[in-house]
Structure 1
Amino acid sequence: MSIQRARQVARRFDVDRAVAYAVAARGWQLLTGQVTALLIMFCLTKVEQGYYYAFVWLLGMQIFVELGLHVVIINVASHEWSELKSVDGEVEGSPRALSRLASLNRIAVRWYLFAAAIFVVAVSVAGVVYFSGTTGSAEFVTDAESSTVRWFSPWLVLVLLTGLQLGLLPMTSILEGCGQLATINQFRFWQGMAGSFVVWSLLFGGFGVWALCGSAAVRLIGESYLALGRYRKFFATLRDQPPTEVVDWKSEVVPLQWRIAVQGAFHWFATHLAGLVLFKEYGPAVAGQFGLMWTVLTAIQGAATSWIDTRRPVFGRLIAERNYSELDRRFFSLCRISIGLVLAGTLLFTVGVVVVNQFSNWFFDKIALKLPDVQTVLIYSLGFIAFQPAVCANIYVRAHKKDPFLLASIISNSAIAALTVSLGTIYGIVGSVSGYLIGVAGILTPLWVGIWWVTRQRWHAVDDNGSLTASASQEEGL
């Protein structure tokens, strides 16, 4: 295919450099994720596999200290960046916008340093209490199914590395909001490759759950380079900017942040709690089966979501310009592609599980042993497919710096958490995934898409002369 033809295809699917690298990174994760999954199956025992994913689920508790601020930072920064530009690595443009962006950076950095410290202490203790209660051993060693799982040291190291990375999140979020996605996604693509090779080496070398620490170390090094190295002049400009105009934290950040924080907390209960309950009720081996399936489907959804999620800054700019027709054109095109990718990915995964269960040999038998059955995978896949339209709707609405999803999110995620935990406790993995499908398809997606439909009609309403109606103007001023 010629370069010109490739560019035509890229334009047809609304692909720019930022999206290309983001999708490439997600694609790499999907491809290498299969290698990682195979190494987990063949290099870890069933019990170690359960601990591996329990670590991941517990790390998700960072939402309780981070409180979703990074999403707000991206949206607020994108609105200010519409009046700014980068010249030789420094920020130039409207003095008012530059001052406001600098104030956003200062407050966000202070917040995240505090949040990172709280995270390291609180989550370390939570993990020790959780795993100690599982093992019943004062020496932090468990002996199950003839496998010794030493979790204490890797757990503490993993939490520390993740906490340090959390402290750098505000700066990378500002960069994303300031139109630097192409560079960031390009770097993260290579960072993802390096992380994969580190994880593979540690798994193949018999280091078990320490592989997660290797991955976290690579991410920390990469984020440090971006924030403190590659973009040091960018942030020096913001640090040196006098605070003549500041972001009103209470009126511009908190109203959206606290809503995202509450929703994030309930989302953790809806998506992470089920695995931890299975770990406690049915043991690490069963939790490991669920975790492997959850990881593959989450990776598929992440790759599909990146197609539209990388456009948050673009959406923010178009909204600031009130170019709603172009906003909708891009959104609907990207939404169709994103949902299609989820459909294709989940179908491929389900077919793969069918194959390994139908054809018996030492290789397929080993894989089938570490995964749930076909029925369970199919049910869970349907839940992820049903969730994708809601994800797209959520990104669109939040790009307006508003978030009307609070009540719907609390209701839907509470229902999902209750269904997955209660049915999972009684029926195991199949009960948990059935609860997820019922909650997503029957409650969450109808509510979220309905909110998107109503708010879009209100906020983008125009009169016959092309001006915003009074109702829409009032909404814009909220």
Structure 2
Amino acid sequence: MQVDKKTLAVLAQRGWQAGAGLITLFCIARYLSPAEQGYYYTFASLAGLQALLDMGLSTILVQQAAHEFAELNWLPHGAVVGENVGRYLALTRKALCWYAVSGLLFLLAYPAGLYFFGNRPQELDLAWQQPWLILVISTAVSLTLLPVLALVEGSGKVVEVYSLRLVQGIVGAIAIWFTLLEGGGLYAVAMMPASAALIALVWALFRYPKLWASALFRTTGDFAWWRELWPMQWRLGISWLCGYFLTQMHTPLLFQTQNAVVAGQMGVTMTVCNMLGLLSLAWMTSRIPVLAKAAGQQEWDLLDNEFSKGFKRSLAVFVMGAMFFVLIRYAADYTAYGVRFLPFWETVVLIGAILFAHISGLLAIYLRAHRKEPFLWLSLSGALLTVSGSVWLAPIWGSAGIVSVLLAVNVGFGFPTSLLMWVMLRKKWHATI
């Protein structure tokens, strides 16, 4: 495994996220009851609806900033100089405004959550209203600050941004552990977004004050958002929303159709699978600015070479991590913590489903580097199949029905279709662009 400086920064952040996540899982199992665990992960899954307001824009901003910053340079305190600097500053201003409105809209999740959790028989007597309120507010603030990191990362400062995310992860994880240790219960679920928001705000104000001041008050250029970004944004937004239904909807669904205990089992098992995906994506995530720049300049050999290296290493890490998790899950059945996960064979099926979804995601990164979103209808179709199948089978078979649907959709539809699209579009675009 060759690791360059950028990949090392991403890997450090993702590695901490995975390692700290395992400690968090242990703390949740130690200090929360099985039903409280279900509430914890259902809270987290519903907070993931911020993807509806993000609409994939954070990913697009990284790629767009990479294109806009090609002829620009940084000066101290976040000042930007170079040809067409006005476009970059205009992009920054409009992104900040978009996410400010998104953060305000996300606050509506609070009354929606009151209805969701209050419109069913309580399985235990616990005060969940205040933790839910704090989670919604902290997630809204964190959402507002998303473009700050994306725009700087796209300029090429991958190491700095992922070092910041590492600090956010460390502080957030420690805050979660301390809250659980001190008996804070469900308040722990809000510690990560709250810590991330505070650290990002301090970093942006002290590290790049001139960038935000110039973008908000002294912008002279213009950026045609609706013409240049929106056509891809709404497509990627639908894809991201579909991704939510493919990975996050199952815990709330089981919470409603089964009980909080089963929801907690799905939540903790899916969390480990998602951590595997995040960790293995480090070898590809660090290359996104390079891929976007190579595609923009039609350097196809560089694009293919960087993608090939990232793809092979990402896939290898996922497979090795999955094998390790399967062994750990098997051993857990001989301890008191085995009941906190899905049954063993359901766990194996879920890992297989996430593996094929991971491969499809890697192929999507390559195609999106061309500033296009060809996976819209694929994502929408996959989400509709998953949602309809899960809603049908969850009340009957519970978690077994959901993991079966995920495996069938990802292996039988998502992976072969995405591979076929990758082969055809790569040949078409590289021949005509």
TM-score (norm 1): 0.87
Q: 1:461-476 counterparts in 2 under 5 A?
A: 461=431, 472-473=432-433
Out of 88, 99, 109, which is 1:101 matched to? 88
User: Do structure 1's residue 83 and structure 2's residue 60 form an aligned pair?
Assistant: no
Contact 2:367/2:373 (8 A) holds in 1: yes
Q: What is the deviation of 1:220? A: 1.0
Q: What is the deviation of 1:379? A: 0.4
Provide the C-alpha distance between the structure 1 equivalents of 2:79 and 2:217, rounded to a whole number of angstroms. 11
Give aligned-pair identity as a percent: 28
Out of 400, 403, 421, which is 1:433 matched to? 403
Partner in structure 1 of residue 21 of structure 2? 33
Provide the C-alpha distance between the structure 2 equivalents of 1:321 and 1:215, rounded to a whole number of angstroms. 38
Q: What is the deviation of 1:240? A: 5.4
Contact 1:277/1:425 (8 A) holds in 2: no
Q: 1:11-50 counterparts in 2 under 5 A?
A: 13=2, 15-50=3-38
User: Do structure 1's residue 408 and structure 2's residue 378 form an aligned pair?
Assistant: yes
Out of 142, 150, 160, which is 2:137 matched to? 160
Aligned length: 433
Call closer, same or farther: CA 1:234–1:19 in 2, change over 3 Å.
farther
Deviation beyond 3 Å, 4+ runs, structure 1? 89-94, 236-242
Partner in structure 2 of residue 3 of structure 1? none
Out of 329, 333, 339, which is 1:353 matched to? 329
State the AA in 2 paired with 1:282: Q
Partner in structure 2 of residue 132 of structure 1? 118
Contact 2:63/2:154 (8 A) holds in 1: yes
State the AA in 2 paired with 1:36: T
State the AA in 2 paired with 1:113: A
Contact 2:390/2:402 (8 A) holds in 1: yes
Q: 1:319-358 counterparts in 2 under 5 A?
A: 319-357=295-333
Q: What is the deviation of 1:39? A: 0.9
Partner in structure 2 of residue 206 of structure 1? 183
Contact 2:39/2:264 (8 A) holds in 1: yes
Call closer, same or farther: CA 1:356–1:58 in 2, change over 3 Å.
same
Provide the C-alpha distance between the structure 1 equivalents of 2:51 and 2:347, rounded to a whole number of angstroms. 27
Contact 2:266/2:342 (8 A) holds in 1: yes
Contact 1:270/1:414 (8 A) holds in 2: no
> What is the SS of the residue equivalent to 2:342?
coil
Provide the C-alpha distance between the structure 2 equivalents of 1:287 and 1:242, rounded to a whole number of angstroms. 49
The runs of 5 or more residues in structure 2 that have no matched partner are: none
Provide the C-alpha distance between the structure 1 equivalents of 2:249 and 2:286, rounded to a whole number of angstroms. 28
Deviations 1:267-287 (A, max 9, x none): 222222221111111110110
> What is the SS of the residue equivalent to 2:142?
helix
Which piece of structure 1 moves more, 327-336 or 213-222?
A: 213-222
Partner in structure 2 of residue 444 of structure 1? 414
Provide the C-alpha distance between the structure 1 equivalents of 2:304 and 2:168, rounded to a whole number of angstroms. 33
Q: What is the deviation of 1:85? A: 1.5
Partner in structure 2 of residue 382 of structure 1? 352
The runs of 5 or more residues in structure 1 that have no matched partner are: 1-11, 136-141, 462-471, 474-478
State the AA in 2 paired with 1:176: E
> What is the SS of the residue equivalent to 1:426?
helix
> What is the SS of the residue equivalent to 1:82?
coil
Q: What is the deviation of 1:446? A: 1.4
Out of 172, 184, 187, which is 2:161 matched to? 184
TM-score (norm 2): 0.96
Provide the C-alpha distance between the structure 2 equivalents of 1:94 and 1:187, rounded to a whole number of angstroms. 26
Deviations 1:272-327 (A, max 9, x none): 22211111111101100111101111111111112202221111111222211011
User: Do structure 1's residue 123 and structure 2's residue 109 form an aligned pair?
Assistant: yes
State the AA in 2 paired with 1:405: F
Contact 1:108/1:170 (8 A) holds in 2: yes
Q: What is the deviation of 1:93? A: 4.3
State the AA in 2 paired with 1:402: K
Provide the C-alpha distance between the structure 2 equivalents of 1:90 and 1:223, rounded to a whole number of angstroms. 15
Give RMSD over aligned pairs: 1.5
Provide the C-alpha distance between the structure 2 equivalents of 1:278 and 1:242, rounded to a whole number of angstroms. 49
Contact 2:78/2:207 (8 A) holds in 1: no
Partner in structure 2 of residue 72 of structure 1? 60
